[in-house]
Structure 1
Amino acid sequence: MKLWVISEEVVARFGNELGACGIELVVCSADDIQEGAIGFLLTKESDGKLLQERMQQLGTGPWLVLVYGSDVPYDLANTLHTQYEHTGEHEVIRMALFTHERALLGGEPDGRWMRFLCKQLARYSLVTMVCGMREVDEALRQLPRYLAWKEQFYIELGASCDEKGISLLQVSRALGMDKRIGHGWLYPSRQDSSLIVRWLEKECRLALQKANIQRIVLWGEDSLWEHMPSDWLAEKDVAVYTGEDKPIPNKKMTGWTLYDSWQDAVQDADLLVIGNASGTTIAELPLSELVNRMRQSYVIDAAACFPVQEAQSYFQAYRAIGENTNVWE
């Protein structure tokens, strides 16, 4: 299925994730109305002008208006629905994707485009739940809050496990046997990274006290390192790797070297600090290759990239949240 969007920026931001569901995005210009499109994708309130401009050119629908993304104001979809429900020109659906496996759709359960969209997503193996538009808005509003609370709980539990000399991994798995809890708790898309940053800084300072470390690799999104206090990195050779094909960070990291290759970044490193593995392949790397490229294989991992026992057998020291309480002793 094909939907019009207001700009190439929208295509660049949402094209891949929606394309994985079989939804193609095309820019709708005044001079070139793309044939085959069945409606519009709105990702922010200002996109609404696209509807007004194109309605006169396209004539009556009914067209699909798919309201998508976290930047959409609360209740926008419901407002549009109220505006157009009497004309029959548009069917408004509020949509959210969860982990590329499940979709939440808000709108009329028996609507023509709702039925069409459910079938479309099913063809791409997505499980859908249909509810009200405001229910989707509320779920999107509360999800980051809940995930942040859950992550904070497990980080605090990790500190308790450290004190008791037990494994957070095993405790979290045990808790996850209760279906009400589940196993996942580290969320790379977190809005507030302060807890992770504090944990990383504490562990890195301990590592610098216990080992002769000169070259440090920071692995993860640049937004994380921008909030990291840098005094403990003074006079160190600091390499930063944010992932392949990632743009250069807007904020200049004075004295730090940015790499677009993980092999070059970790070459002759003494300490690898993993803050966020999202968008990278670190969890898939052979540990032997990683170790061979490093001068010393000290690793502090806030993303739980490796099985603990395997990491312990390869690295000189491996520290993950709630694991290896005596690693720096």
Structure 2
Amino acid sequence: MRLLALSEEITSVESRDLKACGIQLIPYGKQTQWAGQKVDGVLLTKEASQAAWEEALPVLSATPGLLLLYGPSIPYGWAQRLVDNSDGDEAWEVVRMALVADGEKALIGGSADGFWVRTLCRSLAKSQRVSLVCKAKEVDEAVRQLPLYLAWKERFFVELGEVCDQEEISLQTVARAMGMDRRVGQDWLYPERLDHRRVMQWIEREGRLVAEKANVHRIALWGPAALWREMDKSWLQGKEVCLVAQEDEPIPNDIFPEWTTNRTWEKGLEDADLLVIGKADGIIRGLPLHELVLCMKQAIVLDACACFPLQEARSLLHSYRAIGEKTNVWE
């Protein structure tokens, strides 16, 4: 399936996810030469892209095809309004689509008898993805409510961690036990949250404590620069702070002028006394702990993402603090 897409809007992640679903994107925009290639329809990811779609209509095939509204940035109810304003049988088939469960499942909003709905479902099935066909506004509602629920679940997890700290028991064990009930599940943290304040408050509180109890001079912060804006950074005063940034992450010079930035974890952790993990990625989750210990001056880790197995952290690290876990702590 080939869809015309606005090259200025489509991110590399969106392009990758759609390609995995059997959808090939053909760029269309001011900086690209489309040259009238044959396509099956048009992809829209934002309401603002409708103007460009209307601009492309005269050069598209005379036979209406698929108008796919994809992703979390589609305004609520927009797909249904396009359907309501369509011109009957000669209209483009409007389909609302969103991926969930890390892209392993798809929500398809449209007519169950629609040609392109059925085509999308077959394409998803070929890539081993389960699809649910429903109304377009039902997809919109699911997309709107899912992050709210996941953020609430994470808040519950953090609050449960406070209880586990007080009772001197393991949050990971309690959470794993609760997750044995299929209605609960095992995934608790929500890295895509929009509000990081609760996690940042936990990091600040625990960071102040370790700074008081241990001889900490150099601190490495693991996570995107935007994350640390929401944290009270007064506890970092007088410390040498290094931000471990991803290679493709832009770091404005005026945000943290007193901090250093390293694009590789080896340089970022070199001679660090304390590692603070605010948001985990594949690198830190796959990093062998013994390599981390060799890089750091003191193997003290403050982990808001539960990256490491507790038994291994207990045996290899000098001190390890995760939410609801006091392992070799500094108290």
With 61-70 and 195-204 compared, the bigger mean Cα shift is at: 61-70
* Amino acid in the other structure paired with 2:152: W
Q: Secondary structure at the match of 2:55?
A: helix
With 6-15 and 59-68 compared, the bigger mean Cα shift is at: 6-15
Change (3 A) 1:248 1:54: same
TM-score relative to the length of structure 1: 0.95
Give 1:107 deviation, angstroms. Answer: 0.4
* Amino acid in the other structure paired with 1:17: D
Partner of 1:191 in structure 2? 194
Tell me if 1:170 matches 2:178: no
Tell me if 1:211 matches 2:218: no
Tell me if 1:290 matches 2:292: yes
C-alpha separation in 1, matches of 2:52 and 2:316: 56
Conservation of the 8 A alpha-carbon contact between 1:11 and 1:26: no
C-alpha separation in 2, matches of 1:32 and 1:209: 61
Q: Secondary structure at the match of 2:247?
A: coil
* Amino acid in the other structure paired with 2:223: G
Within 5 Å, give how 1:109-188 maps onto structure 2: 109-188=112-191
Change (3 A) 1:268 1:106: same
* Amino acid in the other structure paired with 1:25: L
C-alpha separation in 2, matches of 1:194 and 1:251: 22
Residues 141-183 of structure 1, C-alpha deviations (whole Å, 9 max, x = no match): 1111111111101100000000000010011011111111111
C-alpha separation in 2, matches of 1:17 and 1:252: 32
Partner of 1:106 in structure 2? 109
Partner of 1:6 in structure 2? 6
Q: Secondary structure at the match of 1:10?
A: coil
Q: Among residues 91, 94, 99, which one is paired with 1:92 in the alignment?
A: 94
C-alpha separation in 1, matches of 2:161 and 2:174: 9
Give 1:222 deviation, angstroms. Answer: 1.4
Structure 2 segments unaligned to the other structure (5+ residues):
none
With 291-300 and 7-16 compared, the bigger mean Cα shift is at: 7-16
Partner of 1:54 in structure 2? 56
Conservation of the 8 A alpha-carbon contact between 2:26 and 2:34: no
TM-score relative to the length of structure 2: 0.94
Q: Secondary structure at the match of 2:301?
A: strand
Give 1:224 deviation, angstroms. Answer: 1.0
Conservation of the 8 A alpha-carbon contact between 1:11 and 1:25: no
Give 1:285 deviation, angstroms. Answer: 0.8
* Amino acid in the other structure paired with 1:299: V
Q: Secondary structure at the match of 1:9?
A: coil
* Amino acid in the other structure paired with 1:233: L
* Amino acid in the other structure paired with 1:306: F
Partner of 1:318 in structure 2? 320
Q: Among residues 231, 234, 247, which one is paired with 2:234 in the alignment?
A: 231
Residues 179-234 of structure 1, C-alpha deviations (whole Å, 9 max, x = no match): 11111110110011011000000111110111100000000121111111111111
Give 1:307 deviation, angstroms. Answer: 0.7
| Runs of 4+ more than 6 Å apart | none
C-alpha separation in 2, matches of 1:309 and 1:170: 12
C-alpha separation in 1, matches of 2:45 and 2:164: 43
* Amino acid in the other structure paired with 2:218: R
Tell me if 1:19 matches 2:19: yes
With 56-65 and 292-301 compared, the bigger mean Cα shift is at: 56-65
Aligned-pair identity in percent equals: 48
Q: Secondary structure at the match of 1:281?
A: helix
Give 1:87 deviation, angstroms. Answer: 4.2
With 248-257 and 95-104 compared, the bigger mean Cα shift is at: 248-257
Change (3 A) 1:328 1:85: farther
Q: Secondary structure at the match of 2:9?
A: helix
C-alpha separation in 1, matches of 2:177 and 2:188: 13
Residues 216-264 of structure 1, C-alpha deviations (whole Å, 9 max, x = no match): 0000121111111111111111000132332224752121111110110
* Amino acid in the other structure paired with 2:284: I
* Amino acid in the other structure paired with 1:56: P
* Amino acid in the other structure paired with 2:200: V
Conservation of the 8 A alpha-carbon contact between 1:5 and 1:26: yes
C-alpha separation in 1, matches of 2:192 and 2:246: 15
Structure 1 segments unaligned to the other structure (5+ residues):
none
> Aligned residue pairs: how many?
328
With 62-71 and 30-39 compared, the bigger mean Cα shift is at: 30-39
Change (3 A) 1:294 1:160: same
Conservation of the 8 A alpha-carbon contact between 1:43 and 1:69: yes
* RMSD between superposed Cα atoms in Å: 1.7
Conservation of the 8 A alpha-carbon contact between 2:9 and 2:45: no
